[in-house]
Amino acid sequence: MRTNRRKQYFIDKSYQTRFILRFVIVTALWSAAALLLFAWIARQRIETEMYSSHLTIASSQELLLPSALYSEGIALLLYSVLLAYAIFDLGKRISAPLFMLKKDLARIGAGDLAIPVRLRPGDEFQDLAGEVDRMRAGLGSRFAEIKGAQQRLSRAVSELDLSMRQGLPLSEPIGEIRKAASAAQESLRPFTL
């Protein structure tokens, strides 16, 4: 009985952890920057208002709301820049390995099974590249079996042709053809269309 285990090709635990951690750090930096900026701007505003000769402030909201909006706007701008950098860096880190895998898959689809599928050390998607390379190697061995069966079948047909021209008994070449055809059929059995 064959058990189907689900494989995770695109979500590696360490990659997922680094991905989440990057955005948690950016968000924490944004929160700290917003808090510090608000505290600094509010302190400046309170000091200015306290030392001015006329206090026309009716509530703390009237005093602190402009400072809060100003500091949050600046912090949001900083957060957007940090987030854009993190997304750009992430895109840069995964685009090259995905492009290389796409190129390798196109090469395999065109029939070139000789060159192994490899990514640079440290690139993401190493597991996926390994699975694609195992697929390439498996296809290579299957096609080698099919090619061997085709060569045996071709030799057997040549022997049959020679036996027919020479008037020899055909039972032996026909038996060879049957064996070669059976081997070819066995080599093709794993493929489904």
Show Cβ contacts of residue 183 under 8 Å, excluding neighbours closer than 6 positions: 145, 148, 149, 152
Name 192's Cβ contacts closer than 8 Å, sequence gap at least 6.
none
pLDDT-derived band of residue 1, with 50, 70 and 90 as boundaries?
Answer: low
Most confidently modeled of 2-16, 18-32, 47-61? 18-32
Q: Output the pLDDT for position 104.
A: 93
Q: Are 139 and 108 in contact (CB under 8 A)?
A: yes
Q: How far apart are CA 188 and CA 125, in angstroms?
A: 31
Q: What is the pLDDT of residues 28-81, one digit of tens each?
A: 887 888 888 888 887 777 777 766 656 666 666 676 777 778 777 887 888 888
Q: Is the pLDDT of residue 21 over 80?
A: yes
Query: What's the mean pLDDT in 110-130?
Result: 87
- Domain positions in the chain: 10-100, 125-193
Q: Which pLDDT belongs to residue 137?
A: 92
Nearest alpha carbon to residue 125 among 149, 156, 93, 157: 93
Higher pLDDT, 7 or 49: 49
Do 154 and 139 meet the contact criterion of CB atoms below 8 Å apart? no
- Token output for 66: 């402009």
pTM given for the model? 0.58
